[in-house]
Chain A
Amino acid sequence: MGVVVAGAGLGGLRAAESLRAAGYSGEITVVGEEPHHPYNRPPLSKQALSGPIDPAGLEFRRKAGVDDVQWRLGSPVAGADLAGRTVTLADGTVLPFDGLVVATGLRPRRLPIPGPAGGRSPLRTVEDAEHIRQRLAPGSHLVVLGAGFIGCEVAATARALGADALLVAVDEEPLIRPLGREVGAAMRRRHEEHGVEFALGRTVTAFEGVDSAEAAVLDDGRIVPADVIVEAVGTQPNVEWLAGNGLDLTDGVLVDSGMQVQGTDAPVVAVGDIARYPLALAGPGPLRIEHWNMPTETGRRAGRTLAALLLGEAPDRGPFTAMPSFWSDQYDISLQSFGLPGLATSVEVVEGDVDSDCIVEYRDDDGLIGVLGINRTPDLVPYRKRLAERASQAEGA
């Protein structure tokens, strides 16, 4: 018995560390689909594509408190009976639990585009990155499906390595959903200056080639060379294994502000990309946030909640005041954001020029909801403070 952590990513690791820090001394078993200990994914679209990838070099340092955790890696979870308090692995093993951490994260969304599968890959795992890296060379033709952060970063990395890059996306501008039209257009111009091409408002209808793709057919009939294809068109939460337990799985797993899973009496928490929680900054409506720092923030909170439940104490049900944060590197451009710019109803460049270094305020009806700095990271301190004040003024905070 003890705690089963389903998912060996950053959120699972931080939850295990937090359980120990909160005084839980029972057994902890972490089950993971990938064969690796928890590792850092952001370098996979950037530095890691420049040379052979060493998975061990990307691993997170694990705190001393989790030295006695049992790792069952390369062993995906297949099902759960929350009322019976068991988890079933894909190999048929049944693991009983006293408490469960749901940390199975996301998988890339795949598009059913006809044509050879060779040369096509999402970018989520070290294996995906290695696959892409081996094909990216001076003169190779990269086609990226999607114009979000991963797509833009891969395009920038490919140009630095001497490959051509074309981004194909249904959106009107790159990064339009997280950052808005004006900033998205400015980022497009910067990419174009570095030789990246865009096919916006377009889709790929087929790939041509024998075993491996050699060309992509666009929906306007254009045929473009394509020998490295990265699919970066969003993600899907890995919730299927939780079906049949009466949970709300509409978009991830619904939890309360303490990360306790709703709809079950069992001591179950969820963390990271898969958890949908009320965030103080954004009000009562639950959100699922895929920013890099949130597995750490939710993992800490969830570990404390689960430790309290298992130790017979009352968990902290107070507001969750964590501050979402993300960054992105493209060429010499360093983007840094705090808050939730994607929720804004108005956007204003408040310092500098959107085509050079600048600070952008994102507002909703209640004021500042997010901020973005382009090469202005140190100057974001007062904006982050304003966002933190808004979160702390949330009801009950």
Chain B
Amino acid sequence: MTVRIVVDRDKCQGYGQCVFEADDLFGLDESDTCVAAAEVGEDRRADAERAADVCPMQAITVE
């Protein structure tokens, strides 16, 4: 099982809260917009969901 992380880059405002939660799954690009690992193992689901929970714009979906 893998976990899909989808970022709505139109919603993202570059607050970077996800990066503070899991800096190996999320980062900000040169325009301060979120980029995320596309697929991670099930063992990282909790970390990905934590980051999605604290996104101020709720721009991260974990599937």
Interface residues of A (CB under 8 A from B): 14, 40, 42-43, 60-61, 63, 292-293, 296, 325, 327, 329, 334, 336, 377-378, 381, 384
Q: What A residues does B61 contact at CB under 8 A? A: 61
Prevailing SS type, chain A contact patch: mixed
Q: Is B28 an interface residue (CB 8 A)?
A: yes
Partner of B58, one of A61, A377, A384: A61
* Contacting pair A378 B58 (CB below 8 A): no
A14-B53, A296-B53, A378-B28 are contacts. A60–B58 as well, Cβ < 8 Å?
A: yes
Complex CA gap A381/B58 in Å reads 21
Partner of B20, one of A14, A334, A381: A381
A61-B58, A296-B54 are contacts. A377–B16 as well, Cβ < 8 Å?
A: yes
Q: What A residues does B28 contact at CB under 8 A? A: 378
Interface residues of B (CB under 8 A from A): 13-17, 19-20, 23, 28, 49, 52-54, 56-58, 61
Q: Which residue of B lies closest to A46 (CB)?
A: B13
Q: Which residue of B lies closest to A297 (CB)?
A: B54
A40-B58, A292-B56, A296-B53 are contacts. A325–B16 as well, Cβ < 8 Å?
A: no
Complex CA gap A312/B38 in Å reads 40
Partner of A42, one of B20, B52, B54, B56: B56
* Contacting pair A336 B56 (CB below 8 A): no
* Contacting pair B15 A63 (CB below 8 A): no
* Contacting pair B58 A293 (CB below 8 A): no
CB distance from A9 to the nearest CB of B (A): 14
* Contacting pair B20 A384 (CB below 8 A): yes
* Contacting pair A325 B17 (CB below 8 A): yes
CB distance from B52 to the nearest CB of A (A): 8
